[in-house]
Every structure is written in C-alpha cells, then in structure tokens.
Amino acid sequence: MPDAVTIPEERVDLSVELGGLRMRNPITTASGCFASGPEVDRFFDIAELGAIVVKSITLEPREGLPTPRMAETPSGMLNAIGLQNPGVDRWIAKDLAWLRGKDLPVVVSIAGRTVDDFREVARRLRPVRSSLAAVEVNISCPNVEDRNIVFACRAEPSAAVIQAVARELDLPLFAKLTPDVSDVTEIARAVVQAGATGVSLINTTLGMAIDIETRRPKLANVMGGLSGPAIRPIAVRTIFQVHRALPEIPIIGMGGVRTAEDAVELLLAGASAVAIGTANFLDPFATQTVIQGLRTWMARRGYRSVADLRGQVALP
C-alpha cells in the first residue's frame, strides 16, 4: 500500500519484470503503432522506453491492403492496414540491426496465416534470439481475408500457434488476444497452458463506418480495427477479467491509453506493463510523456513501485 505522503520522484521504482521480460519502466509501444523505432527516434531517444513492441512481422514481405486504410471515428479510429511489413528476413537485416544499437528491450511481434507460418517465422528468429527480449504472438489481427482464421477467436487454434512458437523460441512469449470473444479468460487459459508466458490485452476491436453520402464503407477493406480512447473501457474490462481468472500471469495492457492516469487505470485493472498505441499518432512524445507523468503521479501519492498498483482496483 502507498505511503500516505508524497515521496521524492527518484524514490519511485518504475522497473517491472514480466516472466523474464525486464523493463526499466512499465511503458512500451503497442504493435503497429510505432513501426520499429527509427521514425519516433527522430523526436527523442526511444531508449527511454521500458521496451519496444515492433509492428508485426510475417514470413513473407507484405504490401498490405488498398487505401483508404483509415477512418476517424468518435474518440477513435478504424484501420485496415493488412500487416504491411518487410518480411522476417529483411526485418532482421535492417530493423533489428538498427535496434541493436539501442539499449532497449526488443519485443518482436509475429503474425501469420497458418500455424506453419508462425513456426517458420519463429525458426528464422532463432539465430538472433540474443537480440530479442520477448516475442508477442499476434493471433488477433482483425484485418485478415477470412474471420475464420483469426486464431484468437477460438481456444484450440490459439493454443496450436502458441505451442508451435514456444517450441522454436526460448523467450518470454506473450499472446496478443482480441476482446471480440464471448469469454476471453477461456482463450487466455488455453494459450497459457500451451506455453505462453503472458498475454497482451487488447488488440483492436472489429468495427465499420459508412460514408452516408456515397453509401460506401469508409475503409477499402470494409471493416477494420477500432483503436483509441473509445476502446479503453473494453481494455480495462478485458484486463480485469483475465487478471482475476489468472492472477499469476503477466499482462501487457493496451487500448486507448493517452495519459499517465490512463496507464494507472490499466495497472489497477491488472496490467503489469502498459503499451501506448494510437496516442503515438496524436503526439510523437506520448510514450515519453506517460513515463514521466507516471513517475510524478506515483510520487505524489507515495507509491514506491508498480507492484503497489497492479490489480489494486478496490471492488465494492
């Protein structure tokens, strides 16, 4: 419990450890919202982050979906990018090479169409394992050709992917899940049993917007992932449910966080670390601002460590 009085900021220990993933502070980036780092590093030294979670990498290079890929919605935005990325080999040669020059834990996010895709990406990451701090397995991207292949909608295929990756890569492994299911705790249990160290909650939730004048969907892909402050209550709810069901399991929480106060809300719900996504689009300094703001917020209230906040929601 916090001390009743303010403590000096330097006495706040922001470091966290999530099943082997050590971070100097609990703030990281939501996959797909920070590329692989150099773009935001033009604004500030991204080594200040607790970790970077990069944009999802697939086996083959992908050019993604046609435009428009984005539509602004009330307090949020829809996107349908289609996992555009250079492919695992070029990512290792170029992006990871750049990240190696930074004193920053790298969490590689991987995606694929089939269990074999995931296994092969994991296999190709083995030689560079020492440059990686953890793997996030993106089994919940909503922008795929067929809703039936969103692994995280069902427990069994989710577990199959996690098992395949866990066999190839001896690294902390986080399964990124979707809130678009009837019982997220069932999926979380399945991935943990299959070998996941923890879970990342939440991916975007599936949405749609229509231009009423042209009667056309606002996205070329018709549907897309909703992100931003609009989904924060869904993130808080999902994190809360999973933390209550699996209190020992580390959770990287994300969904609509813009401020230090938002990050605290996710920590109280049960997150062990918090990723910033859409807020990076609004302010390139969002992650840096949240880290400093979190330290100040905790010091003013006498919280010495992040563990004092995690899951501490006071239920009626």
Where in the sequence numbering do the catalytic residues fall?
141
Long-range contact pairs involving 259-265 (C-beta distance under 8 Å, separation at least 24): 259/289, 259/290, 259/293, 260/289, 260/290, 260/292, 260/293, 260/294, 260/296, 260/297, 261/293, 261/297, 262/229, 262/232, 262/290, 263/26, 263/27, 263/290, 263/294, 264/294, 264/297, 264/309, 265/232, 265/236
By CB under 8 A, tell whether 69 contacts another protein: yes
By CB under 8 A, tell whether 87 contacts another protein: no
By CB under 8 A, tell whether 232 contacts another protein: no
Given the rule CB under 8 A, which of 36-44, 146-154, 157-165, 194-202 is the region that contacts another protein? 36-44
User: CA geometry: angle at 231 spanning 161 and 294, to 5°?
Assistant: 95
User: Measured from the CB atom, is 35 or 149 closer to another protein?
Assistant: 35
User: Measured from the CB atom, is 218 or 243 closer to another protein?
Assistant: 218
User: Are 32 and 180 contacting, i.e. CB atoms less than 8 angstroms apart?
Assistant: no
Task: Report the C-alpha gap between 297 and 250 in whole angstroms.
Answer: 23
By CB under 8 A, tell whether 57 contacts another protein: no
User: Measured from the CB atom, is 38 or 247 closer to another protein?
Assistant: 38
- Residue 44: CB minimum distance to another protein, A: 7
By CB under 8 A, tell whether 143 contacts another protein: no
By CB under 8 A, tell whether 79 contacts another protein: yes
Binding to another protein in span 236-275, by CB under 8 A = 258-259
User: Which residues of this protein are in contact with another protein, per CB under 8 A?
Assistant: 32-35, 39-40, 42-44, 55, 63-64, 66-72, 74-77, 79, 81, 84, 220, 228-229, 258-259, 278-286, 289
